[in-house]
Amino acid sequence: MSKKKHPYRLYLTEEQMPKQYYNLRADMKELPEPMLNPVTKNKATLEDLLPVFCEELARQELDDKTRYVDIPKEIQEMYRIYRPSPLIRAFNLEKYLQTPAKIYYKFEGNNTSGSHKLNSAIAQVYYAKQEGIKHLTTETGAGQWGTALAEACSYFNIPLSVYMVKASYEQKPFRKDIMRTFGANVIASPSNTTKVGKEILKNHPNTTEAVEKAVTTPDSKYVLGSVLNQVLLHQSIIGLECEKAFEILDEYPDIIIGCAGGGSNLGGLMAPFMRDKIKGKHNPRIIAVEPASCPTLTRGKYTYDYCDTGKMTPLAKMYTLGCDFIPAPNHAGGLRYHGMSPIISKLYHDKYLEAVSTKQTDVFDAAILFAQKETIFPAPESSHAIKVAIDEALKCKETGEEKTILFGLTGTGYFDMTAYSSYLDKTMTNYIPTDEELEKSFPNIIED
């Protein structure tokens, strides 16, 4: 055990900040399966990706060899406005739980977008700007990604169209207005403005069409806040900062916990620790936490599937519930994506990481306790990780083990008050899909 004094919040100095992203694929013993062209079913090439993504990002998507990627000065400059994010020791939560475990969390909510999504938004907008892109499109569910992207687009001065899941658009008018604050054009999706939109509108009332808009508009590209390899690359800054902070503390986490929707947060948080695990240098447990209502890793299939509902992006091999899967309407917050990052999927398949799913009301129990003890109001997404961190700390209480637990506190819950209100009013319900329900949305695209 380290003898160093633990501060409540550890901030790296500007000199200590990472200057490069870390590409975990370069150290994986077995790589994720390649993406496939959705029409030919052949291995996707750079050319296949260019209609959707800008060139540098397409390159990052495919590059599984370059271990470290320099973070351009302009991106570092914008990171400096809100980074480093603090690594916080949850002394008060520990005391309340009476656990011998040390609980640390990396808090990514210290910016207007309120989540870690800004880390990749800035990178994606910067590269697009560099390549002369004049317009960006994206889709957003709970709204964290859309907000982050609006913020980055405002900073780099690029117009943005956000297709927002219709249910969220209607239930979260404030989320829409935050995006408008940053100058974004927010459209409830599916809309009647695209072919995909009209098609989807017929079959599903809750999905999006940003890809078509990008593909059919000149100098326009599509950006996505999770799942993609490029996103995990950018989000590695979370893990790299944590690694440095633990170095300063002269400690190493025994358990690393991240909520997982598409995998952007967990993939970034775990990156350097997973590297150590792959190399046999350390052996931390790494745990993905997902909602029981959208159980991609724990109950999904490991197979090729579309990344988007519109079926226009390349196919990726991943754990998926099927690109037609939509969580039950009582599901609050994000973590609603049907698939999981191919990198995380492969590592889970190869047993480098564990996955658990949690019920919504248990998640909010944990969220409220955390808010009361730690003075941060957590996003429902982040609270999945809180719930499992508490569970692990309580196990340590039973066994007396002084484990070091690290979890990712991805963001704040100020735009999720409707969910909090329903929890407080005891009208919140849980929904766990039956096997039959899941079977209906499983895809059958490529035989595994």
Asked whether position 7 contacts a copy of itself by CB under 8 A, the answer is yes
Give me the DSSP letters along 379-429. -HHHHHHHHHHHHHHHHHHHHT---EEEEEE-BB-TT-HHHHHHHHTT---
Q: Is 363 in the site for a copy of itself (CB under 8 A)?
A: no
Give the whole-angstrom CA distance, residue 113 versus residue 154.
12
**Binding-site residue total for a copy of itself (CB under 8 A)?**
42
- Identify which range of 268-276, 306-314, 372-380, 384-392 contacts a copy of itself by CB under 8 A: 372-380
Among residues 60, 99, 113, 236, the one that binds a copy of itself under rule CB under 8 A: 113
Q: How far is the CB of 222 from a copy of itself (least distance, A)?
A: 23
Burial environment of residue 15 by CB neighbours within 10 A (0 to 12, 13 to 18, 19 or more): exposed
- H helices, E strands: number in the chain: 18, 15
The residue from 2, 4, 9, 444 that contacts a copy of itself (CB under 8 A) is: 9
Give whichever of 118 and 210 is closer to a copy of itself, judged by the CB atom.
118
Among 305, 374, 381, 392, binds a copy of itself (CB under 8 A): 374
User: 79 to each of 72, 82, 109, 111, how far by Cα in Å?
Assistant: 11, 6, 13, 10
Q: Shortest Cβ distance from residue 375 to a copy of itself (Å)?
A: 4
Which residue, 153, 348, 167, is CA-closest to 263? Answer: 348
Pick from 31, 46, 417, 446 the residue near a copy of itself by CB under 8 A.
Answer: 417
Q: What character string, x for contact with a copy of itself (CB under 8 A) and - otherwise, covers 232-271?
A: ----------------------------------------
DSSP string, 243-298: HHHHHHHT---SEEEEE-SSSHHHHHHHHHHHHHHHTTS---EEEEEEETTS-HHH
In angstroms, the CA 122 to CA 134 distance is: 16
- Residues 85-104 as x/- pattern, contact with a copy of itself by CB under 8 A: ------xx------------
Binding site for a copy of itself (CB under 8 A): 7-9, 11, 13-14, 80-82, 91-92, 110-113, 118, 151, 154-155, 173-174, 177-178, 180-183, 368, 371-377, 412, 414-415, 417, 420-421, 424
